[in-house]
Amino acid sequence: MVKGWGRRYTGAVLRPRRNLPLLALLALAACHPVVVRPQETTAADVAVPTLPVSNINIVGIGRADQDGRIVLRATGIAVARGETATIGVMGPGMIPGTRFVVLGARFRASVIRYAETQGGSGTTPAAVLSLVVPPDASPGLYSVMAVRGYEFALLSGAVEVTS
């Protein structure tokens, strides 16, 4: 029981106010309000639309060695604070128009070129990036996100910043 201003209410939900603009908005949005009254149970059938499977996915990441070769693996890379590294990411959707973000303060990931992997079982789209790690970045794991339009893919803990 909830008490307030000398009145007694039973239940946790008060009677809704009539709000014409809100009702008009709900009608336009094809929403169906559900009425919940005090001391009652209400059931509602809620349809949740599914989205199509994304055409973008990061399946590997690697760092360039002294010869410029990048070996791509699903295990992540290590980069020191204040360092600029050339890295590669591969997977479906790594094509022109795809942007890359490292989820952390002031990291910069710039596309150098788009490519395809060689070896393994066929070819897979890939991108070569320049990754700038801020000098004051906290040591730890950071995720890499690929974004194209409304699609995105995330490789969690892909970049380890070392001191």
DSSP string, 70-91: B--BSS-EEEETT-EEEEEEES
Helix (H) or strand (E) holding 23: helix 20-28
Cα 147 from Cα 54, distance rounded (Å): 11
Enumerate domains of the chain plus CATH numbers. 60-162 (2.60.40)
What's the predicted TM-score (pTM) here? 0.65
More reliable by pLDDT, 19 or 80: 80
CB neighbours of residue 117 within 10 Å: 19
One-letter amino acid identity for 13? V
Cα 113 from Cα 86, distance rounded (Å): 11
For 87-145, what is each residue's pLDDT tens digit?
999 999 999 999 999 998 899 999 999 999 877 677 889 999 999 999 999 999 999 99
